A = this chain, B = another copy of it.
Amino acid sequence: MTSPTSEQLLAAHPRASTDPDDRARASVDRSGFIPQSFADGVVFAQDIDDVVLTMKLASEHGVKIVPRGAGTGLAAGSCAQAGEVVLDLSAMNQILSLDPVQGIAVVQPGVINAAVNHAAGEHGLFYAPDPASTAICSIGGNIATNAGGMWCAKYGVTRESVLSLLVVLPDGQLLRTGRRTIKGVAGYDMNALMIGSEGTLGIVVEATLRLRPKPKHTATLVSYFPDEAAAASAASAVIAAGLTPSVLELMDGKTLSAVDSALGTDHHSRGGALLLAQTDGYGAHLEMQALQDAIEPLAAHSELAQDPQHAEALVEARRQAIPSMEKLGTVSICDIGVPRNRLAEAIAGLQRIEAERGVSIFIIAHAADGNLHPIIVVPEGQSITTGSPKAALADMFYLAKELGGTLTGEHGIGLLKQDWLPEEVGETSLQLQRRLRAVFDPQGILNPGKAI
């Protein structure tokens, strides 16, 4: 049942679709969340004017708008339902300019993360935030969730690589945040406020990204450990030794098996858990030597990449971890963060939750940041957002909290993690945040029910 207000918007916008397939596709993301109903329609924006028109119509008629990029979100932040219209930005996918001297790219929100890196690479530059979904996720979604990835261990998350945004506000006005310079403190940090706001404050229609010079050298190591506890201790040893790896990824035994099944590799035969480490820069090889020294006492077996192809193959195993699990059933990718020296405790806690709740949990982690992705997998067709999986998700939050950590390191709150947000940020903060939201969106029409 399409709402009458949605109908007015959809009738008035030349890019609107009410095709049932479009509506079904636009109502889900990759979180495993299954909405009870589908969105009333979809606007396929081709340019800024389409977005402005959408928001003008939406604010005029009081229509709820769910912005959407590539739809690869993991917290149901872009899921939609009846009474809502999806604003699909995936066709706004151009790199508008790339200035190699300034190290700046100006892009549309629908551009795929990997495409930015491909274009930057031609000039010896790279874009640091690299979610595992780099090949399929969009920059707009990365900005909405302040996405991280493997390289942010050294180079920071999306916030540290987005200089400026052009945003369409809920009433259709245009807002510019940030600036093209590296530093700047004129006025409040509206840019940081927008980044990670999960499409609730405005719609990003253009982003000015900071590119960095590609490291001169990179060294890549894979080490196998008897078990997850040893791998976590090794990760802590790397941090304690004062090293700054550009990548430090942990994969548990179950994940190694999943990857082996999917890719035909034999990682699990070499150890019960794995650490993938990279160092980069002029001292990459010296720093890698120090890293090897730090983890040596704990490792069962290590393999240093001998050439870039070998290194790429090792990294690829990590990138394929989640796709490999998706072959085993429906996945819910959780995202807790803990202080970096408490990784081993977090893993032990997750294994306890797995046993107690009788759910299957695979663990990968951005170990240098203390950001863990416990991945719940249920057989295809079973619900992953209710029952035992949901109870396990709650347990994970309380585990993170107990260890001084957070509910979400880089995926966002979306719909899935609403229940625990007040407990994490506190009532005073949440009330303030709701009032900030109302400053941008007094009618409450932008991505309602999501984020805060």
A429 & B287 in contact (Cβ 8 Å cutoff)? no
Partner of A439, one of B174, B339, B410, B436: B436
The one of B185, B214, B216, B287 in contact with A411, judged by C-beta atoms closer than 8 angstroms, is B185
Report copies per complex.
2
Picked from B410, B428, B435, the residue with its CB within 8 Å of the CB of A174 is B428
Instruction: Determine how close the nearest CB of chain B comes to the CB of A233; give it in whole angstroms.
Output: 13
Residue A173, interface by CB 8 Å? yes
Those of A165-189 within 8 Å (CB) of chain B: 169, 173-177, 179-189
Q: Evaluate whether A188 and B421 lie within 8 angstroms (CB atoms) in the complex, with A181-B339, A183-B371 already known.
A: no
**Cβ-defined contact, A341 with B192, below 8 A:** no
Interface string of A198-233 (1 = CB under 8 A from B): 000100000000001110110000000000000000
Stretch from A79-87, A109-117, A145-153 forming part of the interface with B: A145-153
Hey, which chain B residues are within 8 Å of A370, CB to CB? 181-183
Query: Is A95 located at the chain interface by the 8 A CB criterion?
Result: no
A428 to B168, CA, bound (A): 11
A442 to B26, CA, bound (A): 40
A396 cross-chain contacts in B, Cβ below 8 A:
none
Q: Could you tell me if B428 and A175 are in contact, using CB atoms closer than 8 angstroms?
A: yes
In the complex, are the beta carbons of A413 and B192 less than 8 A apart? Answer: no
Nearest opposing residue in chain B for A202, CB measure? B432
How far does the alpha carbon of A377 sit from the alpha carbon of B340 in the complex, in Å? 48
> Are B340 and A102 in contact, with the CB atoms below 8 A?
yes
Assess A188 versus B284: contact at CB under 8 Å? Given A183-B157, A244-B213. no
Does A286 sit within 8 A of B, measured CB to CB?
yes
B186 to A407, Cβ gap below 8 A? yes
Chain B min CB distance to A159 (Å): 7
* In contact, B337 and A184 (Cβ under 8 angstroms): yes
Q: Is A406 part of the binding interface, using a Cβ–Cβ cutoff of 8 Å?
A: yes
A433 touches B187 (CB 8 A): yes
Q: Is A425 an interface residue (CB 8 A)?
A: yes
Nearest CB of B to A172, in Å? 11
Query: Which B-chain residue is minimally distant from A123 (CB atoms)?
Result: B242
Q: Do the beta carbons of B214 and A425 come within 8 Å of each other?
A: no
Complex formed: what's the CA distance from A437 to B174 in Å?
Answer: 20
Residues of B within 8 A of A156 (CB): 156, 160
By a CB distance below 8 angstroms, the chain B residues around A184 are: 337, 406, 408-409
Q: Does A338 contact B (CB under 8 A)?
A: yes
Whether a CB of chain B sits under 8 angstroms from the CB of A101 is: yes
Q: Is the CB of A193 within 8 A of B188?
A: yes
A217 to B281, CA, bound (A): 13
Closest to A407 in B: B186
Q: Which residues of B contact A424 (CB under 8 A)?
A: 186-187
Assess whether A328 is interfacial by the CB under 8 Å rule.
no
Contact of A290 among B125, B282, B340, B408 (CB under 8 A): B282
Contact A188–B409 (Cβ < 8 Å): no
A272 within 8 Å of B by Cβ? Answer: no
Contact across chains for A451 and B187 when beta carbons are under 8 A apart: yes
A407 to B186, alpha carbons, bound, how many Å?
7
Give every chain B residue within 8 A of A337 (Cβ-Cβ).
179, 181-184
Q: Contact mask A89-102 → B, CB, 8 Å, 1/0?
A: 00000000000011
B-side contacts of A196, CB under 8 Å: 185, 188-189
Q: Which 9 A-B pairs have CB atoms at the shortest separation, nearest pair first?
A: A282-B283, A283-B283, A213-B242, A192-B192, A181-B337, A282-B287, A184-B406, A282-B286, A183-B409
Starting from the known contacts A183-B369, A439-B439, 13 additional A-B residue pairs (CB-CB under 8 Å) come to A103-B340, A180-B405, A183-B406, A184-B406, A187-B433, A188-B196, A189-B193, A216-B287, A282-B282, A282-B286, A282-B287, A283-B283, A436-B436
Q: Chain A residues in contact with chain B, CB under 8 A?
A: 101-104, 124-125, 145-146, 148, 152, 156-157, 159-160, 169, 173-177, 179-190, 192-193, 195-197, 201, 212-214, 216-217, 236, 239-240, 242-244, 279, 281-284, 286-287, 290, 337-341, 366, 369-371, 404-413, 417, 421, 424-426, 428-430, 432-433, 435-437, 439-440, 451-452
14 pairs of residues in contact across A and B, judged by CB atoms under 8 Å = A146-B189, A169-B428, A181-B370, A182-B369, A183-B366, A185-B413, A186-B417, A189-B189, A189-B195, A217-B283, A282-B286, A283-B283, A432-B440, A435-B439
